[in-house]
Amino acid sequence: MTTKEKPEFNDEFNEAEFFGFAKSYLSEAFPNPQRVGCPPDSDLQQMAEQPVEARDAGASKHLTSCSPCFNRYMEILANLKRRKAAGQ
């Protein structure tokens, strides 16, 4: 692909919009009603409180294909953020 053939990107890239889209997409795109392969809530809690890349790799990957787990993880993160804000 030559320089002239490369797609142009908007110089006004908005990181917040990108992450908002990603969050919206992941929260709805993968319903998983049978909850196949879901890690226990305690694993999501531990990953949120004290993330360790090697330990959390499987659960982290699962969050990209399971909206219920992604939503639960986001809820856990929000609760942690609220607790930290209240403690400061």
User: What is the Cα–Cα distance from 6 to 23, expressed in whole angstroms?
Assistant: 28
**Residue 15: C-alpha distances to residues 20, 22, 42 (Å):** 8, 11, 30
Confidence (pLDDT) at 12: 60
67, 31 in Cβ contact below 8 A? yes
Q: What is the pLDDT of residues 27-86, one digit of tens each?
A: 999 999 999 999 999 999 999 999 999 999 999 999 999 999 999 999 999 999 999 999
Closest Cα partner for 25 from 56, 64, 77, 79? Answer: 64
Q: What is the pLDDT of residues 2-34, one digit of tens each?
A: 445 554 555 566 888 999 999 999 999 999 999
- Domain parsing of the chain, residue ranges: 40-88
- CA angle centred on 41, ends 40 and 42, rounded to 5°: 90
Instruction: Give yes or no for residue 1 having a pLDDT over 50.
Output: no
58 is written with which tokens? 């499987």
Question: Residue 72 CA to chain centroid, in angstroms?
Answer: 10
